[in-house]
Amino acid sequence: MAQHAGHVEVICGSMFSGKTEELIRRVRRACIARRNVQVFTPKIDTRYGTNRVASHNGLDFEAIPVDHALEILDHVKPDTSVVAIDEVQFFDEQIVTVAERLADKGMRVILAGLDMDFRGEPFGPMPALLCRADEVQKLHAICMVCGEEATRTQRLVNGEPANYDDPIILVGAAEAYEARCRAHHIVPGRQI
């Protein structure tokens, strides 16, 4: 098989915008094209099991769970041509180095993650990944308050917006989060 030029693709957006669904769609198309694919996920995200990436609508794909970004390099097989990484916002800053190193070796690297945390601020390594990506796709959800396009993730605690000082990382789904538009995204305690 001919060596292809590597590149980095980032799929981002709020929760419930279809990021993982799009990552799985791209992975399945790569499999149809007979590419050797490996998918990775952070061990911290166990919502759908420990060795799968799964979308909220039920699509899933086998994945290798890892604790730290650099572990991915230890697991990539020599014949792999496509590496997909879900929930990339949970990885340390080394994920940027990993993505670039794999792309420099000629691999297609597909990354999916939240671009902003529940506060509406850049999430972890996402700003650096977005800057270095060859392709970026920002997806939108539907605001649970007004039905307009949602670009934010609203964390809820007992049905109320979480405070700014609450921990950044809280793995959850519809029980703890909603998609919201800018106008309906509320973060008590945020200093503007």
Q: Which helix (H) or strand (E) holds 52?
A: strand 52-54
Quick check: is 87 catalytic? yes
What SS3 class is residue 29? helix
Inter-residue contact 80 to 129 (CB < 8 Å): no
**β-pairing verdict for 141-142 and 149-150:** antiparallel
Q: How far apart are CA 10 and CA 134, in angstroms?
A: 8
Active site residue: 21, 22, 87, 178, which one?
Answer: 87
* Catalytic (active-site) positions: 87
